[in-house]
Structure 1
Amino acid sequence: MRYRELFATFFKIGLLTIGGGYAMVPVIQNAVVKEHSWLTDEEFIDALALSQSAPGALAINSSVYIGYKLKGVRGAIVAALGTSLPSFLIILLISLFFFRMREIDYVEKAFKGIRAAVVSMIALSLVQLLEAVKLKPRGYVVFGASAIALVVLDVNPLWVLVAGGAGSLIYYSIKGGAER
């Protein structure tokens, strides 16, 4: 695998994925796990967890992690540039023309359709992540409790991550095993 291939892969991801963040997860997973076999499903989940835990955009963080894992610091830089360059160029072009086009009815309607498609991509990434993690029943309990804490109780995501990690450490120290 060469730097050019790494850049091209992440450039394509950045160029063809509308919505960023979670909408990019299934596209990144498909590229790095299924197409190129650079990571396994479990390694991708780990990369996603680390990327989500760090400050910054999920797509950039995951591209940095994957690039670093594959090719070190240079790989991290190449992958990050590949992911971010399309957005930068597109935003630059849009900003040049947007103020003249924002009042056009069909442009506004097109953006409404794009928003709906992005929501479906986010839902797809959730389903694919749940399948890849292969949770046992207690994992679904943690997933459900975390979702309730985040959505209903408006708990800060940092505290949900801390509680999940602490709960897992306690559970496995009592049980004395390493299963999921």
Structure 2
Amino acid sequence: MTMLQLFWSFFQIGMFSIGGGMAAMPLIQNQVVDLHNWLTLTEFTDLITIAEMTPGPIAINSATFVGIRIAGVPGALIATLGCILPSCIIVSLLAWIYFKYKELTLIQGILEGLRPAVVALIASAGLSIFTLAIWGKGGFSINVQSINYISLLLFSVAVFILRKWKPNPIFVMVGSGIIGGTVYLLM
């Protein structure tokens, strides 16, 4: 019965924690502390601290931790499976719908409407990283002295290499990192 409760509790958390890890915390607290008394409130705050420090989503880290605490490794597997299963089902369903109806004009219109938004989001993230690399935390400035010329040169050379010879971008990133690290160590 405990395994079923673990699975169902974290299935609900995985299903309804829309908005990321911080949005999932009240759901996790409700299931783990209030409904099932698997953890005390103090232990729950420790759980959130550990889940924040470890790589991965908070809900999955919490499921693994609570599962181990309640039923050992099988409990961790069941709770984690319960947490990720809703996302797997939803994504699989959306993929099935897409492949079945991708030729429909409505679907094509939706996707064409989403493309500029996705490009804008990627460009915004790239511009933020570029601004941080070239001007630092202060952001864009007309002041020529605030420009990091080493970063600007590495960026320009990397773009030139990528456009001219079209190598694997990972090699260009690793090479830029090695050259940049070496230059900054020697300075």
Give the counterpart letter for 2:71 in structure 1: K
Q: Following the alignment from structure 2 to structure 1, what is the Cα–Cα distance between the partners of residues 93 and 20? A: 17
**Superposition pairs of residues 59-78 of structure 1, within 5 angstroms:** 59-78=59-78
Deviations 1:47-71 (A, max 9, x none): 1111111111111111100111111
**Superposition pairs of residues 7-26 of structure 1, within 5 angstroms:** 7-26=7-26
Task: Give 1:102 deviation, angstroms.
Answer: 7.2
Inter-CA distance 61–94: structure 2 relative to 1 (3 Å threshold): same
Q: Which has the higher contact order (CA 8 A, sep 6+)?
A: 1
Q: Following the alignment from structure 1 to structure 2, what is the Cα–Cα distance between the partners of residues 50 and 62? A: 8
Give the counterpart letter for 2:24 in structure 1: M
**Superposition pairs of residues 117-156 of structure 1, within 5 angstroms:** none
- The more displaced of 13-22 and 26-35 is 13-22
Inter-CA distance 77–102: structure 2 relative to 1 (3 Å threshold): farther
Q: Following the alignment from structure 2 to structure 1, what is the Cα–Cα distance between the partners of residues 26 and 87? A: 18
- 1:3 aligned partner: 3
Say yes or no: does 1:36 pair with 2:36. yes
Deviations 1:137-180 (A, max 9, x none): xxxxxxxxxxxxxxxx79xxxxxxxxxxxxxxxxxxxxxxxxxx
- 2:54 aligned partner: 54
Q: Following the alignment from structure 1 to structure 2, what is the Cα–Cα distance between the partners of residues 40 and 13? A: 18
Give the counterpart letter for 2:15 in structure 1: L
The count of residues paired between Structure 1 and Structure 2 equals 109
Deviations 1:75-116 (A, max 9, x none): 111100000011111111122335564745xxx8xxxxxxxx
Task: Give 1:19 deviation, angstroms.
Answer: 2.3
5+ residue gaps, structure 2: 115-136, 139-187
Give the counterpart letter for 2:37 in structure 1: S
Q: Following the alignment from structure 1 to structure 2, what is the Cα–Cα distance between the partners of residues 102 and 32? A: 43
Task: Give 1:23 deviation, angstroms.
Answer: 1.4
Give the counterpart letter for 1:39 in structure 2: L
Q: Following the alignment from structure 1 to structure 2, what is the Cα–Cα distance between the partners of residues 30 and 82? A: 16
Give the counterpart letter for 2:6 in structure 1: L
Q: Following the alignment from structure 1 to structure 2, what is the Cα–Cα distance between the partners of residues 59 and 102? A: 34
- 2:84 aligned partner: 84
SS of equivalent to 1:56: coil
- 1:141 aligned partner: none
Q: Following the alignment from structure 2 to structure 1, what is the Cα–Cα distance between the partners of residues 17 and 55? A: 21
Task: Give 1:7 deviation, angstroms.
Answer: 0.5
Larger Rg: 2
Is the Cα–Cα contact under 8 Å of residues 13 and 59 in structure 2 kept in the other structure?
Answer: no
5+ residue gaps, structure 1: 109-152, 155-180
Question: TM-score, length-normalised on structure 2?
Answer: 0.52
Question: TM-score, length-normalised on structure 1?
Answer: 0.54
Task: Give 1:18 deviation, angstroms.
Answer: 1.6
Q: Following the alignment from structure 2 to structure 1, what is the Cα–Cα distance between the partners of residues 108 and 35? A: 38
